[in-house]
Structures are given as C-alpha cells and as structure tokens.
Structure 1
Amino acid sequence: MNLKKLALAALAIGTTAYIAKHNKKNTKYKPVQNFDLDEFMGRWYEIARIENKSQLKLTNVTHRFILEEEDGSIEIIVRGYDAKKKNWRKIDGIANQDIDNVGLFSTTFLPRLAKKLYVIDYDKDYNNLLIASEDYKLLWILSRRKEISDVVKTRFLESANKVGFDTSKLIWPSQVPISK
C-alpha cells in the first residue's frame, strides 16, 4: 500500500514539474507600451519571418488587421502566394489585445494554433513592426511598404538578437508582384 502511495506521489510531482516547465514563460522581452491599436489596423507587408508550417514557402505575404467594432476583437487575414501550387493561400485568425495601449495579443489561428504575440519594436509612425511569439518560434518584420530601409532592418535585427532570437533563421520572402 505504501509503495502505491509513493508511486502516485512521484507521478503527481513529475506531472506538476512537467507542466510547470512547459508552461513557464521564458520570454526575455516585454511588449511595447503606448501602442495605438487604431494605428496598427490595416495592411502590412511581410518583410521577414521565421519560417513556420502555416506559411511554408509563401511569398508576397500580407497581414491585414481589422478591428471588429462589436466586440473589440481583431480579425487577422494572412495571405501569400504558393509558387509551387501556383495559387494564393489565406490564413485566418482572431486576436484580442490583452491590455489597452500595450502591444500584447492573444491570437488563435484555425484550426488549432493559439499564441501570445508581442510587438517588441515599432516605428512611432506605425510604418514598421517587429512581432514575436512568446515561445520564440515565430518572428515577423512587417512594414506598410514592400521594402524597409537598412537602418530599420539593422535596428529590428539587433532588437531580436538582443532578446534571444536567432535571426539567421529569418527568411526574406519576395514582394515582387506575381505576373499573370
């Protein structure tokens, strides 16, 4: 009987440790403050990203953020071109700003991806953004234009490196228009 209780206690301790380890927030960065949600809305061109399954090999990627007035949620539409299949793909998601005036969002992309996303750097005129996931698996450089200056690129790469991202993993998808 004591052996059974000991085994259950060990299992409980092990499970608790596993959950604590995997739920631990190891994020070394904080979201930007004084973030204006209205300025953030609209279309952004994807300049760079850490490749991920849902966007695998996509080019000409845009991210559109649309504020839903009724409930304050944000509709996310990510659209990109798959050159191999010669078609456009769309990824839909929903986000909620966790704290007013802070660049921190809870997102859900169907069918099953839920992530906290942090705006960790941005231009005060809302022309360029650096957005990251709390688990360090996702990182994007977004811009209102199809290209960014070397100054912005260097600043964002330094910001990402400083908080622990391996920026050598970034890919720089083309924004050259697709010819018909």
Structure 2
Amino acid sequence: MLIAPSPRRLAPGLALAAALVAAAPMASAAAPEPASRVELTKMTGRWYEVARTPNAMQKACEAATADWTRAGSGYSVVQTCRRGAPDGPKKEWKASATPVDPVKNAKFKLSFFGGVMNQEYWVLDHRTDEGWLIMGTPGGNYVWLLSKAPQLTAAVRAQAIARIKQLGYDTSKLEFPQQVR
C-alpha cells in the first residue's frame, strides 16, 4: 500500500503528494467497484506486498508489509518498508483505518498523522482461501497485490495478476518488490 511520508517531512510531503496527484496521469477509468463483501476479521494480521503500480512514495521500497490490528470499530495499521533491499533501512508509518462501506466492508479510509493526511483504499477483489487481495485507490491510478504469505505460488500469483488485468490495470507496469523469504 502507499506509504505516507515521515512526520518530520509532513509539510513538504503533503505538498509533494498534492503535486503528484495533480500531475498524475489519469487512469483510463476509475477503479472498479469492489467485487465482493470483505469479512472484516480477514483483514487482521500481516499483509506482504507482492506487486504494485509505481508510485513516488514507494520508490526503492522492498519487503513492504502492512500489519492490521483491530482497534475499536476500525483498525490500527503499521506499514513498514525497507529502502533499497529487504534488509535495508527500515521506514515505518502508522495509520488508522476505518471501513466506510458498511454494505461490502471493502472500502477503507486510512488516516495518517492524526487525520492530517487521508486516503481511501478499496479491496477490489480477494481470495481468502488463497490468502491474497487486490487493493486500489478509487481513482484507478494505483493497485497493490497483497498476500498473507511473503510469496505466492507461481500458479496463484499468475491467477491474481490475471485478475488485476481483468480489473482494467496495465499489468506490464507492475513492480514486483523483493520480499523476505
């Protein structure tokens, strides 16, 4: 998932984020609506990043994870990234996540730095039996393939990538960051 800037760089980071949003090429269409209902208990735990569309905040980001813990009616999320290599310097950001879609529970608002920076993320599809989900931003510009395990089998990974393509994303642009084995 998109990683927020560090608190000490918040003001320049917000300016950069605003500039990136303004300059970002528009996707050919907005993200599709989430395919199915998300069982909220399935969101808890560690999610490993398998693939993503390039974004400025995750440049040189390897071994990215997102740890989701139930907190009241939402979640506490700790995102971790290793710069340059799976054993590189660790960067960590904390956010709160609130479901904003009570029908499917598939849309979340993540708030960083006490609500100073907010972004919605949608679970576009998921296969809990295979341990993966596809998450994207509502504008259709960014997509992530997340897994409950550091790696997916080749067959399951191919199925998930095919699903990303079916959702309308250009899979030739995906990055596959290194993950801890």
* Corresponding residue for residue 79 of structure 2: 78
| Equivalent residues in 2 for 1:40-55, closer than 5 Å | 40-55=43-58
Distance 1:74 1:48 in 2: 23
Kindly state the Cα deviation for residue 29 of structure 1 after the two structures are TM-superposed: 1.2
Larger Rg: 1
Letter in 1 for 2:111: T
- The DSSP-based 3-state class of the residue aligned with 1:151 is helix
Q: Percent identity?
A: 21
* Corresponding residue for residue 35 of structure 1: 38
Pick which of 82-91 and 120-129 moved more: 82-91
* Corresponding residue for residue 99 of structure 1: 101
Task: Classify 1:156/1:145 alpha carbon distance in 2 versus 1 (closer, same or farther; 3 Å).
Answer: same
Letter in 2 for 1:59: E
- The DSSP-based 3-state class of the residue aligned with 2:157 is helix
Kindly state the Cα deviation for residue 113 of structure 1 after the two structures are TM-superposed: 4.2
Kindly state the Cα deviation for residue 36 of structure 1 after the two structures are TM-superposed: 0.8
Kindly state the Cα deviation for residue 88 of structure 1 after the two structures are TM-superposed: 0.2
User: Is 1:108 matched up with 2:107?
Assistant: no
* Corresponding residue for residue 58 of structure 1: 61
Distance 2:126 2:44 in 1: 14
Distance 2:116 2:157 in 1: 32
Deviations 1:80-122 (A, max 9, x none): 1113894100122222111234311122334854322111121
In 2, are the aligned partners of 1:49 and 1:138 still within 8 Å (CA)? yes
Letter in 2 for 1:94: S
Distance 1:28 1:173 in 2: 23
- The DSSP-based 3-state class of the residue aligned with 1:152 is helix
In 2, are the aligned partners of 1:39 and 1:126 still within 8 Å (CA)? no
Letter in 2 for 1:73: G
Match of 2:163 among 159, 164, 171: 159
Structure 1, gaps ≥5 residues long: 1-25
Kindly state the Cα deviation for residue 63 of structure 1 after the two structures are TM-superposed: 0.8
TM-score under structure 2 normalisation? 0.72
Distance 1:34 1:176 in 2: 30
Distance 2:41 2:111 in 1: 20
Structure 2, gaps ≥5 residues long: 1-28
Deviations 1:61-86 (A, max 9, x none): 111111112xx122221101113894
Deviations 1:9-51 (A, max 9, x none): xxxxxxxxxxxxxxxxx53511133311112111011111112
Task: Classify 1:28/1:139 alpha carbon distance in 2 versus 1 (closer, same or farther; 3 Å).
Answer: closer
- Larger relative contact order, structure 1 or 2 (CA cutoff 8 Å, min sep 6): 2
